């Protein structure tokens, strides 16, 4: 289990987590759920090292596991085409950066500048890169299906679940549908509860 005994974090006087224990499986897809403002994105960014923290538990956890947080905001090189961006990150993804993920991209998208992609197309590109990364223990995705149409959403779910066979994937979501292996619920009292959904047979 990739668990943390105590998570503490605050923004000034606003306490987000105070002694929160976090139980995580070794692999599989975990849906991180909770009301707006409960700390879902903050938790992902803490685990991914995007937010600096003095919490020794998180610092130690990040030394033990390679965790990567990605969302559409990471696509800052918007003067590149989608294909050029994939070529740039190829050293991190191998010779074929997410052949499965390429199911989310079209030839037209690959030839389009990132700045000209729609939200859904940017989401497809971010997912393609994220799911192709090598040597990653934990993949942290914030609302990865946001902006995707029904067909692309179904393809993305399939690819995400395939990735969860060999690593841990945590997906922050507001979706009501339960398609992941686990639900990780942040309750109003800052407690975090892990439940198996039975999605994986």
Closest CA to 110 of 131, 133, 84, 138: 84
Task: Identify the DSSP state of 144.
Answer: T
Render pLDDT for 106-118 as a digit per residue (tens, 0 to 9): 999 999 999 999 9
The 3-state secondary structure of 77-93, one letter per residue = CCCCEHHHHHHHCHHHH
Domain boundaries, the chain: 4-196
Render pLDDT for 171-197 as a digit per residue (tens, 0 to 9): 999 888 889 999 999 876 666 888 887
Does position 201 have pLDDT exceeding 90, yes or no?
no
Does position 98 have pLDDT exceeding 50, yes or no?
no
Architecture of the domain made up of 4-196:
3-Layer(aba) Sandwich (3.40)
Distances (CA, A) of 25 to 52, 70, 116, 141: 24, 20, 38, 16
**Contact predicate 192/20, CB 8 Å:** yes
Render pLDDT for 21-77 as a digit per residue (tens, 0 to 9): 988 999 999 999 988 888 999 999 999 999 999 999 999 999 999 999 988 887 778
Nearby residues of 53 by Cβ (< 8 Å), 6 or more positions away? 9, 46, 59
């Amino acid at each position: 289990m990739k668990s943390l005994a105590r998570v503490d974090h605050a923004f000034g006087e606003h306490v987000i987590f105070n002694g929160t224990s976090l139980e995580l499986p070794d692999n599989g897809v975990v849906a991180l759920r909770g009301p707006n403002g409960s700390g879902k994105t903050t938790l992902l960014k803490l685990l991914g090292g995007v937010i600096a923290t003095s919490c020794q538990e998180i610092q130690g956890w990040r030394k033990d596991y390679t965790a990567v947080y990605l969302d559409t905001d990471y696509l800052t090189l918007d003067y590149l085409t989608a294909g050029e961006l994939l070529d740039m990150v190829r050293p991190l993804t191998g010779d074929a950066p997410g052949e499965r993920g390429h199911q989310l991209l079209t030839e037209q998208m690959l030839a389009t500048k990132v700045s000209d992609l729609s939200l859904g197309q940017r989401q497809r590109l971010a997912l393609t890169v994220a799911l192709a990364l090598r040597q990653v223990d934990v993949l942290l995705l914030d609302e990865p299906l946001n902006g995707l149409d029904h067909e692309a959403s179904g393809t993305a779910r399939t690819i995400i679940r395939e990735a969860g066979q060999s690593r841990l994937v945590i997906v922050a979501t507001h979706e009501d549908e339960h398609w992941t292996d686990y639900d990780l619920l942040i309750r109003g009292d800052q407690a975090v509860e892990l439940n198996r959904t039975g999605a994986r047979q």
